[in-house]
Structure 1
Amino acid sequence: MYNLTAEMYSEWAIGLVIIAIRLYARWTTGKGSFYWDDMCLGFVVIFWTFHTVFLHLVEIYGCNIGLNHETAMQIPDSEVPRLRQGSIFAFIAWLSYIFMVWSFKGVLMFLYNRLTMGLWQHRLARIVGAICVATFMASLLFHVCICTPPSKSWQIKPYPGNNCTLRPLNYIVIETLNIATDIGVMSIPLPLVIEAKVPMTQKIILGGLFSSGILTMIAGVLRAYYSVKDIHTLATALGWASREALISVIIVSAPGIKPLLTRLGWLKSIKSSSNGYTRSSKMFSSKSGGNFAPIGNPDDYELPFYKKNKDKRNSLGESQEHIIDPTEPVPKDGPGGIMVTTEYTMAREDVPSGHASSRLPV
């Protein structure tokens, strides 16, 4: 027999272990420093815990979901307080789900905002980030305002209506906004992978990593489908919500765990160049023949194919050309940036002998 509670807590526990490993990897490879994406991952832990606990409480207390005008009036008055309490938990579980899902997006948006610094994709990252904030606010307002006043969401008698209990429009509208922003988030790193000067095998691996958000979209669609299909499939829908969270944790944590596995020797590290940085850090080239601005240290910025830039990133508009740091050694076996060469040319001019005295030496 399917046990929803066992699945939710098991996946929640596995997710916490993955997040703990990811934060440990950031602490060790990032020299004890954390970033805003780590803060968003902390929010994920909080709201995922709320979501799991409140859904469990709904299962214990019961709620007004599944009632109708007739069955609601048949409930004994002694049972009303318990069902009302469970309905409040269901309302909060919806809020925690929205906060959790958009916290996952925050992890990736802060990461991509750092990694695309100096590239034209940085502007795209900012636009997508603004869209994520707007869709987050829209989802919250829709959940709260679809049933007015909000207190009707935990009303038992008389029956407040499906919009206050089942909330079928929540699954349609909020899930649509969720999927739309996921597509926007995935559109940021994929152009970098396509233009990368790395072997096709590595391109496929990176493309699969950055496209793995499709799995969360599928989980979200299945959650919405089983939620609106029938009241008897609601438990299946809640199971897909928990799976969606676990898949998201794996996706956002995988790049951060990779440097730790490489350091432990579990994964082969990318061949380093003569100056100690990965040779594939120059894997992007602009149309004018220069290099993209380097966008991070592999230890600090999760992705192993970016070169550390010790000084402030420099870029000329959107030309994506980069002048190397003069304090860094220039590799002898490859282009390290723009080299300025001064040439002196000597020319001789023959002067007729009759006019030699008219010309003075320079």
Structure 2
Amino acid sequence: MWVCLVVSVALIVARLALRKVRGQKITHGDYWCLCAAVSIVGRLLANHFLLIYGSTRILSAERRIELLKPGFEVQASEIITGSKLVLATRSLLICVLWSLKMAVLDLLARLIMKMPYERKLLYVFWTALFLTYLASIIPVFVGCHPFKKNWQIHPYPGDCVIGNVWLFTYEVSNILTDILLMAVPFSLILSVRIPGMQRLRLLFLFSIGIFLIAVSIMRIVQGHNSRVQSAHTLWASLEILFAVIVAVTPTLYALVRNRHENTTYDKSHLSMGATARTHPGSLAEGDRYAARVWTELNDSASRTDTTSIEGILVERRYETSDVKL
């Protein structure tokens, strides 16, 4: 747990530090990563005490009766505290994952900027992330009714304290949103004209999310009806680590390779308009609209013209008959 979460925070700090070293402005994605880092630290502390105190879901029937006896007040109090921390760790886990999804969405917003369907696509992403966040966070607090059953020692509060409903709901939401966020870069990379090795490198960078989906599936299988707190903590920590890797890897790669990311990003979009400048490979003006997509990844071999624009500038062409700029 400590290794996974400390490495996760270190990766986020590295992203922010490199942004500062490059003299670039902090982006919305950086702020979302910072929110994730704060939630990770909070979850780390909560999980530390949870593993020490335990919770009601790991108690045997005999232990529940024993804790009611005189002399066990301290142990009972710790169990109650640990059970309340379960709610905190679940909530913080969701906050971490969805903050990182918003950081990924900030990158995707750069990918699709100035494209005809940009606004509608962003609305779809925002709505999907908001609804899945609600679907994931609500079961944390409504799984047991009345609410105090979450830390009730005796009588046995029921299987609601195991959190099967919450686990399935949030993991399915997690998987679906990961697939949705991966769909855009994959469709762009597969549809543009770029060298084969460059295409493979980009596909690898954006396919790291597949490992996150695999971890989510394993967490559903492992966590169903599981009463072992350490196993829950381990898989959740691995899930956070892979989510951080997915969110920061493309930007770290860009910051290491490209010293002028923001400058070239602005140039590439300021140069766009109703009459896009023609360049080698583009069609005649008025026939089609060539959209340049910024992926934040520097590669001098992929430049499509002789300007100073750095980064991967790829073309997608759209019929201008239905395009309003």
Residue in 2 that maps onto 1:292: 291
CA distance in 2, matches of 1:34, 1:220: 30
Match of 1:202, SS state, is helix
Residue in 2 that maps onto 1:171: 167
Q: TM-score, normalised by structure 2?
A: 0.78
Decide which structure has greater helix share.
Answer: 2
Residues 23 and 196 of structure 1, relative CA distance in 2, 3 Å threshold: same
Give yes or no for contact 2:51–2:230 (8 Å, CA) kept in 1: no
Match of 1:156, SS state, is coil
Residues 173 and 237 of structure 1, relative CA distance in 2, 3 Å threshold: same
The offset of 1:317, in angstroms, is: 8.2
Q: 2:129 aligns with which of 132, 151, 176?
A: 132
Decide which structure has greater strand share.
Answer: 2
Structure 2, unpaired ranges of 5+: 260-278, 299-309
* 1:206-258 per-position Cα deviation (integer Å, ceiling 9, x unaligned): 122222211111112212221225434x4233212111111121221111112
Q: 2:239 aligns with which of 234, 237, 244?
A: 244
Residue in 1 that maps onto 2:4: 11
CA distance in 2, matches of 1:292, 1:59: 52
Q: TM-score, normalised by structure 1?
A: 0.71
The offset of 1:195, in angstroms, is: 1.4
Give yes or no for contact 1:62–1:83 (8 Å, CA) kept in 2: yes
Higher Cα radius of gyration:
1
| 1:253 corresponds to 2:260 | no
Which one-letter code corresponds to 1:205 in the other structure? R
Match of 2:311, SS state, is coil
CA distance in 2, matches of 1:56, 1:282: 58
Residues 110 and 149 of structure 1, relative CA distance in 2, 3 Å threshold: farther
The offset of 1:28, in angstroms, is: 3.5
CA distance in 2, matches of 1:118, 1:203: 22
Moved segments of 4+, more than 3 Å: 68-71, 281-290, 293-299, 315-321
Which one-letter code corresponds to 2:197 in the other structure? T
* 1:42-92 per-position Cα deviation (integer Å, ceiling 9, x unaligned): 111011112222111111112111235554233235122111011111111
Identity %: 22
Q: 1:161 aligns with which of 158, 173, 193?
A: 158
Cα-Cα RMSD: 3.0
Which one-letter code corresponds to 1:304 in the other structure? G
Aligned pairs, how many?
A: 285
Give yes or no for contact 2:164–2:224 (8 Å, CA) kept in 1: yes
Residue in 1 that maps onto 2:270: none
* 1:246-282 per-position Cα deviation (integer Å, ceiling 9, x unaligned): 1121221111112332258xxxxxxxxxxxxxxxx98
The offset of 1:189, in angstroms, is: 1.6
Structure 1, unpaired ranges of 5+: 1-7, 265-280, 308-314, 322-362
| 1:26 corresponds to 2:19 | yes
Residue in 2 that maps onto 1:64: 56
Residues 293 and 83 of structure 1, relative CA distance in 2, 3 Å threshold: same
